[in-house]
C-alpha cells in the first residue's frame, strides 16, 4: 500500500539535452518541456534572467552585461554550471506546473554517440545535482529509432539519420545494439554559419544567426528543384558602410552556401551503409532509413540521400521530437527496454 503510494508519487523523467533544444518527458504525462537550450545571465549580479524561449529571444540583442549562453556544443555539455542551472530550472517548472512535488526521480537522458567517459560523467553529474535519484543514459539515435517505433530489438537492419543542431548521427541498429554508426559535428548550426559566411563574402553583408537560421528553414533546397525556387528578403549590416542593408537571397544561393556541408553528411551516410554487414544492408534496401531531427525537413535532402544510396528515405513525423518520444517510451517501459541503455560511468556506478 505504502509502496504503491510512493510509486505513484515518484515520476520518472526523460530528457533530450540537445544543442538547440531541450525536451523533458514526465512519466504518465508526456512531453512537458520543449524549449531552446539557451540561458540568459546578468553578469553584474551573477543571476539567471531567463531560460529557454525567453532567453533565445535575447540572442544577438544583449547589452554587454547580459550573456545569452548556449551551454551545449555538438551535443556535449560545454558549460557545466549553466547546464546544471538550466536543468534545475526546467525541473522546478515541471514541479510547479504539475502542482506536485515528486520524490527524487529516475532520469534517463539522451547523449551523443562516441561520447567520452568524462563527458558522460558530466551529464550524469548534472542530473544528479539537479535532483535525480538514478541516472541512465541512452544514445540519441537509439532513442530516436525507438521514438519512431523501429523494431530495434529484432534481428533486422534499422537505420536512422538524426540531423540536429550541433551534430548529425547516423546509426544502423539490430538486436538492440548499434552495428554501424558515424557522428559528425556538421548539422543545423553549421548550415546557418555557412549561410552567414556566404552572404558575407558575396554581398559584404553581416547576418545574425537567427536570420541565417530563418533563411535555411524557409528557402533551403538542396536539390535543383526549379519549381521550388524561392526568394527571401534579408537584412543585415553592410560591412563596408556599417549601415543596414537589404538583399534578396535565392534558394540556389543557399544551396551553394551549404553544399560542402551537405556533401559531407551524404558521404558519411554512404560510409555507414558501406560498413554495415551485407545481411543488414539488404534489410535497409527493403525497409528504408528514417531521417529525423530538425534538419530532416530540409527540402530535397531525402531525395538526395536516396540518389546517393538507393535506400528509400522516410522523413519522421514530428522530426524534432523523435529522441524525446523514444526516451519517453523507455521511461514508461523501463524493465523491458533497459538493455538499450548505456552502463553508468565507473565513478557513478559506485554511488548507486
Ligand atoms: N523546418 C526545418 N528545416 C530545416 N532545419 C530545421 C527546421 N526546423 C528546425 N531546423 C533546424 O534543426 C536544428 C534543431 O534540431 P534539433 O532540435 O533536432 O537539434 P538538437 O537536438 O537540439 O541538437 P543536437 O541533437 O545536434 O544536439 C536547428 O539547427 C534548426 O535550425
Ligand atoms: Mg538532438
Question: Looking at the structure, do residues 198 and 160 belong to the same domain, yes or no?
Answer: no
Cα angle value 297/320/166 (rounded, 5°): 85
| pLDDT tens track for 190-239 | 999 999 999 999 999 999 999 999 999 999 999 976 666 689 999 999 99
In the chain, % of residues over pLDDT 90: 85
Q: Which of 231, 258, 285 finishes a domain?
A: 258
Structural domain for 22, as ranges: 2-143+322-351
Ligand 1, atom nearest to 299 Cα: 3
| pLDDT tens track for 84-143 | 999 999 998 888 876 555 578 899 999 999 999 999 999 999 999 988 999 999 999 999
Question: Looking at the structure, do residues 101 and 73 belong to the same domain, yes or no?
Answer: yes
| CATH code, 232 | 3.90.640.10
C-alpha of residue 323 to centroid of ligand 2, in Å: 7
| CATH code, 284 | 3.30.420.40
Whether 264 shows a pLDDT value over 70: the answer reads yes
**Alpha carbons 203 and 221: distance in angstroms, whole number:** 20
Closest CA to 15 of 116, 69, 88, 101: 88
Cα angle value 75/251/292 (rounded, 5°): 35
Domain count, the chain: 3
Mean pLDDT, residues 32-58: 95
Residues 6+ apart with CB under 8 A from 213: 188, 192
98 by DSSP, 3-state: which? coil
Which cell goes with 281?
544492408
Q: Which of 221, 243, 258 finishes a domain?
A: 258
Question: Looking at the structure, do residues 234 and 283 belong to the same domain, yes or no?
Answer: no
169 by DSSP, 3-state: which? strand
Of 55-59, 99-103, 115-119, 185-189, which one has max mean pLDDT? Answer: 185-189
Question: Looking at the structure, do residues 95 and 8 belong to the same domain, yes or no?
Answer: yes
Q: According to the model, what pLDDT value does residue 104 have?
A: 83
Q: How confident is the model at residue 60 (pLDDT cuts 50, 70, 90)?
A: confident
Question: Looking at the structure, do residues 254 and 305 belong to the same domain, yes or no?
Answer: no
Stated pTM of the model: 0.94
**Alpha carbons 308 and 296: distance in angstroms, whole number:** 16
Q: Which of 258, 281, 305 finishes a domain?
A: 258
Ligand 1, atom nearest to 16 Cα: 21
Residues with CB under 6 A from ligand 1: 18-21, 75, 164-167, 187-189, 213, 216-217, 293-295, 297-298, 320
> How many CB atoms are located within 10 Å of the residue 339 CB?
10
137, β-bridge pairs: 109, 342
Q: Phi and psi dihedrals of 174, rounded to 5? A: -145, 145
| pLDDT tens track for 141-172 | 999 999 999 999 999 999 999 999 999 999 99
| pLDDT tens track for 302-326 | 999 999 999 999 999 999 999 999 9
Mean pLDDT, residues 4-32: 85
C-alpha of residue 187 to centroid of ligand 1, in Å: 8
Question: Looking at the structure, do residues 334 and 344 belong to the same domain, yes or no?
Answer: yes
Question: Looking at the structure, do residues 250 and 339 belong to the same domain, yes or no?
Answer: no
| β-sheet with 30-36: strand ranges across | 30-36, 21-26, 13-17, 106-111, 134-139
Q: Closest-lying ligand to the alpha carbon of 74?
A: 1
Q: According to the model, what pLDDT value does residue 7 have?
A: 46
Ligand 1, atom nearest to 19 Cα: 27
Q: According to the model, what pLDDT value does residue 158 have?
A: 98
In the chain, % of residues over pLDDT 70: 92
Q: Closest-lying ligand to the alpha carbon of 320?
A: 1
Mean pLDDT, residues 250-261: 97
Ligand 1, atom nearest to 295 Cα: 5
Question: Looking at the structure, do residues 105 and 154 belong to the same domain, yes or no?
Answer: no
Q: Rounded mean pLDDT of the chain? A: 93
Whether 4 shows a pLDDT value over 50: the answer reads no
Question: Looking at the structure, do residues 308 and 329 belong to the same domain, yes or no?
Answer: no
Whether 2 shows a pLDDT value over 90: the answer reads no
Question: Looking at the structure, do residues 26 and 87 belong to the same domain, yes or no?
Answer: yes
Question: Looking at the structure, do residues 162 and 301 belong to the same domain, yes or no?
Answer: yes
Cβ 32 vs Cβ 15: under 8 Å: no
Question: Looking at the structure, do residues 227 and 293 belong to the same domain, yes or no?
Answer: no
Whether 181 shows a pLDDT value over 80: the answer reads yes
Q: According to the model, what pLDDT value does residue 352 have?
A: 54
Amino acid at each position: 500500500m505504502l509502496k504503491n503510494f510512493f510509486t505513484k508519487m515518484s515520476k520518472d523523467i526523460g530528457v533530450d539535452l540537445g544543442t538547440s533544444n531541450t525536451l523533458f518527458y514526465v512519466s504518465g504525462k508526456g512531453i512537458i518541456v520543449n524549449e531552446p537550450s539557451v540561458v540568459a545571465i546578468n553578469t553584474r549580479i551573477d543571476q539567471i534572467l531567463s531560460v529557454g524561449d525567453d532567453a533565445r529571444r535575447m540572442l544577438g540583442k544583449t547589452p554587454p552585461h547580459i550573456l545569452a549562453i548556449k551551454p551545449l556544443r555538438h551535443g556535449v555539455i560545454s558549460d557545466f554550471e549553466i547546464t546544471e542551472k538550466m536543468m534545475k530550472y526546467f525541473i522546478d517548472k515541471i514541479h510547479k506546473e504539475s502542482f506536485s512535488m515528486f520524490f527524487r526521480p529516475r532520469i534517463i537522458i539522451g547523449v551523443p554517440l562516441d561520447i567520452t567517459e568524462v563527458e558522460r560523467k558530466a551529464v550524469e553529474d548534472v542530473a544528479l545535482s539537479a535532483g535525480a535519484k538514478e541516472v541512465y543514459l541512452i544514445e540519441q539515435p537509439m532513442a530516436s529509432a525507438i521514438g519512431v517505433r523501429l523494431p530495434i530489438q529484432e534481428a533486422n537492419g534499422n537505420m536512422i539519420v538524426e540531423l540536429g543542431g550541433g551534430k548529425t548521427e547516423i546509426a544502423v541498429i539490430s538486436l538492440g545494439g548499434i552495428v554501424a554508426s558515424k557522428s559528425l559535428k556538421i548539422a543545423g548550426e553549421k548550415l546557418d554559419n555557412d549561410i552567414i559566411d556566404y552572404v558575407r563574402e558575396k554581398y559584404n553583408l553581416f547576418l545574425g544567426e537567427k536570420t541565417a537560421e530563418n533563411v535555411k528553414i524557409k528557402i533551403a533546397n538542396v536539390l535543383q528543384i526549379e519549381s521550388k525556387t524561392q526568394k527571401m528578403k534579408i537584412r543585415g549590416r553592410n560591412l563596408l558602410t556599417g549601415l543596414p542593408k537589404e538583399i534578396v537571397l535565392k534558394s540556389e544561393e543557399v544551396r551553394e552556401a551549404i553544399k560542402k556541408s551537405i556533401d559531407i553528411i551524404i558521404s558519411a551516410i554512404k560510409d555507414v551503409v558501406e560498413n554495415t554487414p551485407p545481411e543488414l544492408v539488404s534489410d535497409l534496401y527493403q525497409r528504408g532509413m528514417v531521417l529525423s531531427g530538425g534538419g530532416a525537413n530540409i527540402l530535397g535532402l531525402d531525395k538526395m540521400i536516396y540518389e546517393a544510396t538507393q535506400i528509400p528515405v522516410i522523413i519522421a513525423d514530428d522530426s524534432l521530437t523523435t529522441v524525446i518520444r523514444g526516451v519517453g517510451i523507455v521511461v514508461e517501459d523501463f524493465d523491458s527496454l533497459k538493455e538499450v541503455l548505456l552502463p553508468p560511468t565507473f565513478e557513478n556506478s559506485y554511488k548507486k
